[in-house]
Amino acid sequence: MNRRLGVLISGRGSNLQALIDAIREGRLEAQIAVVMSNREDAEGLEKARDAGLEAIALSHRGWPSRDDYDRAIVRELRSRDVGLVCLAGFMRLVGAPLLEAFPNAVVNIHPSLLPAFPGVDAQRQALDYGATVSGATVHFVTPALDGGPIIVQRVVPVLSNDTVESLASRILVEEHQAYPEAVALLLEGGWRVEGRRFVRGAGSARAKSANAASA
């Protein structure tokens, strides 16, 4: 997997900023090749431009089908030689054209401990359900909504006086740690996906060939 990231956003872009900061601070060895938003007014586009990154808006409106929009995204990503696609608050379902173009190379961050509370308003769902812990999950994107193999999770307590906002901001702190960490793990290689499990280290294809080479 090459180290060129394509980051897809729809709004604020704080997870994008966390990736930018991690790269700047040397915690993540990667380059952001392009930031794309389906909304022209996404705050995250400004954050990207402030960081000197290419930032483009590509509206989802006006395409004959969802697949046509996905194909347009793929063209933009491919033309910039992107190796890993990071969804960071991208409020669109991504379909087969994008997933097939980047197999095991589209990831997302979600503000709950999946498989609990997929979909929108995950923090409200956790609070309303009465969960005593929630958190953040970085996972591969598959056709199942928020249902792909899990790469990194971080746990956050739900406090009795929490509001949706206070819980969301506590989770966000962990999101900003978890996303760069997960991207670094992926770029490092030496992992595989076995069924639903993201497996690292010994036993991976890379480790096996290294062992074979040293035997």
85 binds ligand GRF (CB under 6 A): no
111 binds ligand GRF (CB under 6 A): yes
Q: Where are the beta strands (DSSP E) in the chain?
A: 4-9, 31-37, 55-57, 84-87, 106-110, 133-140, 150-157, 191-194, 197-200
Of the pair 165, 201, the CB lying nearest ligand GRF is at: 165
Q: Which stretch binds ligand GRF (CB under 6 A): 7-15, 27-35, 150-158, 186-194?
A: 7-15
Please check whether residue 58 is in contact with residue 80, taking contact to mean a CB–CB distance below 8 angstroms: no
Q: Which stretch binds ligand GRF (CB under 6 A): 8-16, 29-37, 51-59, 207-215?
A: 8-16
Q: What is the 3-state secondary structure (H, E, C) of 89-117?
A: CCCCCCCHHHHHHCCCCEEEEECCCCCCC
38 binds ligand GRF (CB under 6 A): no
Instruction: Compute the least distance from the CB of residue 16 to ligand GRF, in Å.
Output: 6
Pick one of 39, 47, 110, 139: the residue that binds ligand GRF (CB under 6 A).
110
Total of chain residues touching ligand GRF, rule CB under 6 A: 13
**Count of other CB atoms within 10 angstroms of residue 138:** 26
Pick one of 3, 4, 14, 27: the residue that binds ligand GRF (CB under 6 A).
14
Of the pair 13, 83, the CB lying nearest ligand GRF is at: 13
- Residue 148 has phi, psi (to 5 degrees) of -80, 170
Instruction: Compute the least distance from the CB of residue 146 to ligand GRF, in Å.
Output: 9
109 binds ligand GRF (CB under 6 A): yes
Pick one of 5, 6, 8, 15: the residue that binds ligand GRF (CB under 6 A).
15
Residues in the chain: 215
DSSP state of 149: P
Burial of 37 (0-12, 13-18, 19+ CB in 10 A): buried
Q: Is 139 one of the catalytic residues?
A: no
In one-letter notation, the amino acid at residue 86 is: C
Active-site entry in 60, 110, 139, 176 = 110
Q: Which residues are catalytic?
A: 110
